[in-house]
Homo-oligomer: A and B are copies of this chain.
Amino acid sequence: MYRSILIQVEDFSLDAALAELKMQSGLAGGLCFFTGAVRNSNLDEAVGGLYLEHYPGMTERQLDQIVDEAARRWTLHGAMVVHRIGHLKPGDNIVLVAVSASHRGEAFDACEMIMDYLKTNATFWKKESIPDGYRWVEARSSDEAKATAWDA
């Protein structure tokens, strides 16, 4: 199974990820992509931008383990994770998860599980700029619930 895990300041391209999965992981019939983008509001306050930091080394390892877990559950051809760090504006891409599989149901499930686990199990932190200054984003229990639902 092909895999690629990248943490980078630069933006990413879905078309490039599609081409990479096709080239590296054989002719899979179904490819699922998820992209998270910076919203312009959160908790009823305008958000002017986001600063993202991570724990270098540990984060890559966690993402690798998350992809392992997806590959254990479903037959995948390839999986890619790209997560941006640094300063981002509303509308900017934050994260890309891309999965290729023979069957579309497996591509959807694996892509969603990787996203759900990434939200709660990878050492990234977001700080958002709001009219009053800055605030660190707090973890949400709904994300925790989504991640643990995969173990039910």
Residues of A within 8 A of B (CB): 13-15, 18, 22, 27-40, 90-91, 93, 102, 104-105, 107-108, 111-112, 115, 146
Q: How many copies does the complex hold?
A: 2
Can you list 14 A-B contacts with CB-CB less than 8 angstroms, sorted by A residue number?
A15-B15, A18-B35, A27-B37, A27-B40, A27-B90, A28-B37, A29-B37, A31-B34, A31-B35, A32-B34, A32-B35, A36-B104, A104-B112, A108-B112
Given contacts A14-B15, A39-B27, contact A34 B108 (CB under 8 A): yes
Chain B residue, CB-CB nearest to A38: B27
A121 to chain B, nearest CB (A): 15
**Pairwise interchain contact B108-A104, C-beta atoms closer than 8 A:** no
